């Protein structure tokens, strides 16, 4: 089964903020990172269940999963998503060092 991947408005804002943050320190790297991150999310199309539950999932009324994307620095960015039928909805992107997301963060 093939799933579609949808980024919510919140996830798009988070991704843009991460790119802008990176651009301040490494402008050339920021665009490459952004493209690589988006391309890597396509892995969710084939088997989203292979990605584990996020550490904060137990505080949510649904299964919140995380997709880890590691950059060359080996720091992990997290795409937090839910599976809804044949769609993977990315709810938030968390940069390294950010606290765990809460339900209130996603409202």
CATH number of 4-99: 3.30.2310.20
Length of the chain: 107
Predicted pLDDT of residue 3: 96
pLDDT tens per residue across span 1-60: 899 999 999 999 999 999 999 899 888 888 999 999 999 999 999 999 999 999 999 999
- Evaluated on CA atoms 101, 102, 105, 106, the torsion sign reads positive
Domain boundaries, the chain: 4-99
Predicted pLDDT of residue 25: 87
What long-range pairs does 83-87 form, CB within 8 A, spacing at least 24? 83/3, 83/48, 83/49, 86/1, 86/2, 86/3, 86/4, 87/3, 87/4, 87/5, 87/6
Predicted pLDDT of residue 107: 81
Q: What is the pTM of this model?
A: 0.92
* Cα-to-chain-centroid distance, residue 5: 11
Predicted pLDDT of residue 74: 73
Q: Report residue 69's pLDDT band, with 50, 70 and 90 as the boundaries.
A: very high
């Amino acid at each position: 089964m093939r799933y579609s991947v949808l980024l919510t408005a919140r996830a798009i804002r988070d991704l843009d903020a991460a790119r802008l943050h990176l651009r301040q320190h490494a402008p050339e790297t920021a665009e490459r990172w952004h493209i690589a991150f988006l391309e890597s999310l396509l892995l969710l199309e084939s088997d989203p269940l292979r990605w584990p539950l996020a550490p904060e999932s137990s505080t949510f009324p649904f299964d919140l999963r995380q997709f880890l994307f590691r950059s060359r620095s080996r720091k992990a960015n997290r795409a937090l998503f839910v599976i809804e039928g044949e769609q993977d909805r990315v709810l938030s992107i968390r940069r390294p060092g950010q606290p765990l997301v809460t339900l209130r963060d996603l409202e």
